[in-house]
């Protein structure tokens, strides 16, 4: 659905589009709203974005952008950030435990843990979210989402080698209004949201959003114990905003949020079909991919949130903006990696994160022809893991440690990583040859210091046996190890672009961008060295067009990127660590479009073809057969020429949206399909997910006074089980986890109240 008119909520019109971000456009009167809405029914409307830290038409921004509104996401059946890939080509979303792991144009990471940041930077209301644990959340109060594709090394320079996901929540309104939304599905998953906005005084406006969810039935069960798995216990969140108008020159915006979640979703590993376990009997199977055969069901809990303050002051010649934010998170998980009911490996740990950021921006005013922004950015983070226990049992423990006989080996780790990062940045857009051509120049200098302190204690529980080494000498507990380590980095990243308006509806552009992601430490393994920063250089050229009297929007871009010192995940026994793996090159083609077919029918879609290959990776873990010909083990070798993990060659999405006005209101129907080609999960390209479609449909009825909406929907209608993670644990075998829900149907209802 390209547009939705919230007549009963506020004096706004929200124009929705799959090819550009939907922005709330204030109108002077109700009559003005009606005029814009009527025009929007038969042609494509203008969409405003802030991809260059200023408000401008998406079609005027020289970069590839996929953008969606909160209402459009709901119309497509997308209720949380894990589902964004179903409506954005070139984007893939993976999750481990409660960690969000997006990939854009093949760039991302499958690693997670304390202090691990993603190459696709996540911003919520202009605040950088460092913790992956805080990236998975519902979109109930979201006004718009924009995905900026390719490295964003200047204005969003912190760890943005893959791109940026911008999420903007709703702004407070000057009239009392709101809505109540609820949803129920076949697994008895009940979700609800209450949103209220209005004035507190003449110059103060506020809003609050309260959300809650719980699940009555799991997606699968543990065959060994009968327990349900992939079941949401609770998910409670609150978000509030306050805007204060101090006159014509100054505004203040305060925001706060908190979330508490507990579930058995993620971390429930099963054996990859077609493989065997090296030291245990094969697990029982049921035919349901979401069932496992395990000693226990993995469970995780998290809680945390943050607060931010934004001050904007008009200096007369420029605008000064300050954004200050603090965030705090705690995450605990107990998971089993045995791949069968015989205990082999389990992991239990708690991680903490505290982040403080400050950003100052001085930018040109909208009326000025020369557009520019300069700024300073500070980032401080303290990430900690406490009592990380990795326990290995029986034959696996003996094999992994080369001791002759004992029952149990455990490694307990505590570690802290502190980060201080400073950056100065600037960008300007210079008009050339009148208003038809623009040259954009930008740069960012980053300085970063990291420090790690760690402690590790390994112990042997030998039961009735006395563990001995290869010479038969009894072995005592391994002595504790401590470590203090430091790392620093300095990097200059920049952007150059040139765009030219062939006509008012067609723009050509070309650009070069350099991105940089900082290095870090492996807190789970203090014996593993730090990993270095990674960097990417990307060339892009494209065309943005609106054709046939604004009935067709078609944007095409081609890109070529070279990627160096890639931070890749590697498993050392049961522990996942990050190492610098390789050099690679990525090139491809992005296409996004929207067409008004009739006054009632619209077509949206996008596609990305991507070729991502290692050009150098001499010491990669390659999975090859060992003695019995059925089990596999890693050997060190070159992965040059092989596909980069989690970088599918082709992704596409297509949506058909139909609207019919009747006497009783409005009927809206949407059918969306997202296709993903083969996805490899390791450098040897042995572990892979076969091509799949994600098909969904939504049917809504809205009353004539816009107060009530009732809907029915279906997600994953083809019932595809898609692994979110596949990996090899030496010396046990191959595991995978299904984090996407099975075929699901549900009902929704929305009641809007307040000013009309």
Residue 442, pLDDT above cutoff 90 = yes
Higher pLDDT among residues 755 and 554, named by residue: 554
pLDDT at 166 over 50: yes
Please give the backbone phi and psi of residue 299, each rounded to the nearest 5 degrees, phi first. -140, 150
Confidence of residue 7 (pLDDT cuts 50, 70, 90): very low
Question: Which of 9-18, 82-91, 679-688 shows the lowest mean pLDDT across its residues?
Answer: 9-18
Residue 29: the pLDDT is 28
State the pLDDT at residue 25.
Answer: 31
Q: Which of 11-15, 262-266, 400-404, 672-676 has the highest mean pLDDT?
A: 672-676
Q: For residue 628, what are its two tokens?
A: 């019995």
- Higher pLDDT, residue 262 or 625: 262
Q: Which of 333, 337, 355 is nearest to 345 (CA)?
A: 337
| Structure confidence at residue 287 (pLDDT) | 87
Separation of alpha carbons 168 and 308, rounded Å? 14
pLDDT given for residue 408 in this prediction: 54
Is the pLDDT higher at 323 or at 388? Answer: 323
Per the model's pLDDT, the better-predicted residue between 247 and 405 turns out to be 247
pLDDT at residue 20 tops 50: no
pLDDT at residue 11, rounded to an integer: 32
The predicted model gives 70-87 an average pLDDT of 81
* Residue 219: pLDDT over 70: yes
The pLDDT value given to residue 338? 87
Q: State the virtual CA torsion across 549, 553, 559, 565 in degrees, nearest 10.
A: 150
pTM value?
A: 0.88
pLDDT of res. 400 = 55
Question: Nearest to residue 444, comparing CAs of 696, 155, 718?
Answer: 155
Q: How far apart are CA 346 and CA 336, in angstroms?
A: 4
Report how far residue 95's alpha carbon sits from residue 738's, in angstroms, rounded to the nearest whole number.
Answer: 9
Q: Which residue would you say has higher pLDDT here, 406 or 289?
A: 289
Residue the block writes with tokens 């949401």: 232
Q: Give me 445's structure tokens.
A: 């200098």
pLDDT score, position 10: 32
Cα angle: 425, vertex 436, 557; to 5 degrees: 65
For residues 300 and 99, is the Cβ–Cβ distance under 8 A?
A: no
* Dist CA 179 CA 513 (whole Å): 42
- pLDDT (tens digit, 9 = 90+) per residue, 717-744? 999 999 988 888 877 888 888 888 999 9
- The pLDDT of residue 120 is 92
Q: Which of 4-8, 410-414, 441-445, 650-654 has the lowest mean pLDDT?
A: 4-8
DSSP-derived secondary structure letter, 550: T
How confident is the model at residue 8, as a pLDDT? 31
Are 647 and 601 contacting, i.e. CB atoms less than 8 angstroms apart? no
In this structure, of 262-276, 282-296, 407-421, the range with the lowest mean pLDDT score is 407-421
- E-strand ranges in 189-272 read 190-199, 204-214, 220-221, 228-229, 232-245, 250-263, 270-271
At 23-35, the pLDDT tens digits run 333 332 222 222 2
* Confidence (pLDDT) at 677: 96
Query: Residue 402: is its pLDDT beyond 80?
Result: no
pLDDT at 153 over 80: yes
- Quote the CA–CA distance of 380 and 358 in Å, as a whole number: 9
pLDDT of residue 66 exceeding 80:
yes
Mean predicted confidence (pLDDT) in 85-112: 85
Model confidence at 430: pLDDT above 50: yes
Determine the Cα–Cα distance for residues 430 and 437; give it in Å rounded to an integer.
9
Res. 21 pLDDT band, cuts 50 70 90? very low
Task: Assign 74 a pLDDT band (cuts: 50, 70, 90).
Answer: confident
pLDDT digits (tens, 9 = 90+) for 461-487: 544 444 545 455 555 555 566 778 889
pLDDT band at 183 (very low <50, low <70, confident <90, very high): very high
Distance CA(652)–CA(693), nearest Å, equals 9
**Domains of the chain (ranges, CATH numbers):** 3-280+292-754 (2.40.170.20)
- Does the structure show a pLDDT above 80 at 519? yes
Model confidence at 446: pLDDT above 50: yes
The tens digit of pLDDT for each residue in 527-548 reads 788 889 999 999 999 999 999 9
Asked if residues 392 and 408 have their Cβ atoms less than 8 Å apart, the reply is: yes
pLDDT tens-digit readout, 118-130: 899 999 999 999 8
Reference 530, options 660, 419, 696, 652; nearest CA is: 419
Give the mean model confidence (pLDDT) for residues 397-419.
Answer: 65
Share of the chain above pLDDT 90, in %: 56
**Residue 60, pLDDT score:** 92
Whose tokens are 């690693």? That residue is 111
Average pLDDT over the chain reads 85
Q: Report d(CA 580, CA 575) in Å as an integer.
A: 16
- Over residues 85-97, the mean pLDDT reads 84
Q: What is the pLDDT of residue 471?
A: 55
Q: Is the pLDDT of residue 614 over 60?
A: yes
Q: Which two tokens stand for residue 279?
A: 């030291």
Average pLDDT over residues 52-81: 86
């Amino acid at each position: 659905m390209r547009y939705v008119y919230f007549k009963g909520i506020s004096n706004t019109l929200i124009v929705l589009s799959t090819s550009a971000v939907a922005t709330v456009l204030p109108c002077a009167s109700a009559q003005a709203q009606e005029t814009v809405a009527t025009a929007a029914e038969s042609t494509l409307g203008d969409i405003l974005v802030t991809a260059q830290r200023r408000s401008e038409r998406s079609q005027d921004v020289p970069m590839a952008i996929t953008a969606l509104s909160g209402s459009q996401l709901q119309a497509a059946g997308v209720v949380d950030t894990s589902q964004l890939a179903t409506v954005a080509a070139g984007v893939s979303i993976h999750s481990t435990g409660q960690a969000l792991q997006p990939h854009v144009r093949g760039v991302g990471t499958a690693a997670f843990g304390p202090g691990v940041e993603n190459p696709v930077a996540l911003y919520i209301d202009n605040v950088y979210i460092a913790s992956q644990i805080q990236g998975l959340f519902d979109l109930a109060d979201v006004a718009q989402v924009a995905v900026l594709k390719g490295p964003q090394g200047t204005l969003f320079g912190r760890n943005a080698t893959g791109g940026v996901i911008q999420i903007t929540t709703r702004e407070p309104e000057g009239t009392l209004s709101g809505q109540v939304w609820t949803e129920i599905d076949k697994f008895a998953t009940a979700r609800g949201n209450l949103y209220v906005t209005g004035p507190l005084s003449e110059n103060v406006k506020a809003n609050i959003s309260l959300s809650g969810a719980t699940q009555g039935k799991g997606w699968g069960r543990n065959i060994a114990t009968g327990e349900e798995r992939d079941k949401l216990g609770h998910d409670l969140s609150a978000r509030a905003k306050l805007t204060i108008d101090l006159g014509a020159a100054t505004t203040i915006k305060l925001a706060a949020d908190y979330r508490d979640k507990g579930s058995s979703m993620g971390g429930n590993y099963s054996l990859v079909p077609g493989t065997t376990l090296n030291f245990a009997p094969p697990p029982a199977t049921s035919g349901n991919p979401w069932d496992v055969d395990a000693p226990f069901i993995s469970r995780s809990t998290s809680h945390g949130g943050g607060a931010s303050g934004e001050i904007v002051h008009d200096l007369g010649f420029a605008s000064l903006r300050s954004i200050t934010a603090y965030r705090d998170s705690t995450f605990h998980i107990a998971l089993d990696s045995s791949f069968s009911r015989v205990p082999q490996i389990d992991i239990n740990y708690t991680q903490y994160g505290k982040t403080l950021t400050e950003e100052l921006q001085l930018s040109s005013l909208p009326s000025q022809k020369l557009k520019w922004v300069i700024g300073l950015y500070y980032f401080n983070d303290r990430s900690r893991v406490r009592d990380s226990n990795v326990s290995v049992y029986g034959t696996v423990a003996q094999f992994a440690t080369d001791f002759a006989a004992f029952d149990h080996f455990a490694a307990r780790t505590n570690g802290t990583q502190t980060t201080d990062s400073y950056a100065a940045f600037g960008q300007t857009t210079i008009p050339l040859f009148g208003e038809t051509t623009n040259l954009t120049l930008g740069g960012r200098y980053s300085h970063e210091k990291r420090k790690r302190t760690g402690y590790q204690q390994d112990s042997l529980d030998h039961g009735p046996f006395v563990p001995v080494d290869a010479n038969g000498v009894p072995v005592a507990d391994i002595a504790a190890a401590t470590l203090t380590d430091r790392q620093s980095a300095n990097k200059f990243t920049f952007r150059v672009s040139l765009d030219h308006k062939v006509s008012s509806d067609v723009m050509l552009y070309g650009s070069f961008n350099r991105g940089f992601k900082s290095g870090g430490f492996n807190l789970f393994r203090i014996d593993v060295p730090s990993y270095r920063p990674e960097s990417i250089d990307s060339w892009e050229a494209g065309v943005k067009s609106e054709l046939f009297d604004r009935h067709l929007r078609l944007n095409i871009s081609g890109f070529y990127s070279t990627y160096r010192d890639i931070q890749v995940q590697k498993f050392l026994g049961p522990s996942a660590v990050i190492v610098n793996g390789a050099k690679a090159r990525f090139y491809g083609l992005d296409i996004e479009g929207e067409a008004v077919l009739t006054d009632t029918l619209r077509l949206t879609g996008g596609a990305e073809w991507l070729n991502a290959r290692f050009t150098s990776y001499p010491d990669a873990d390659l999975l090859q057969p060992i003695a019995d010909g059925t089990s596999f083990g890693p050997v060190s070798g070159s992965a040059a020429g092989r596909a980069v993990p989690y970088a599918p060659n082709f992704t596409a999405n297509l949506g058909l949206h139909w609207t019919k006005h009747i006497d009783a209101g409005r009927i809206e129907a949407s059918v969306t399909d997202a296709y993903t080609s083969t996805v490899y999960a390791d450098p040897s390209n042995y572990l892979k997910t076969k091509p799949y479609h994600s098909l969904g449909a939504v049917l809504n009825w809205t009353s004539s006074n816009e107060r009530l909406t009732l809907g029915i929907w279906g997600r994953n209608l083809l019932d595809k089980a898609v692994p979110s993670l596949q990996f090899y644990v030496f010396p046990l075998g191959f595991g995978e986890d299904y984090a996407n829900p099975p075929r699901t149907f549900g009902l929704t209802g929305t009641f809007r109240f307040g000013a009309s």
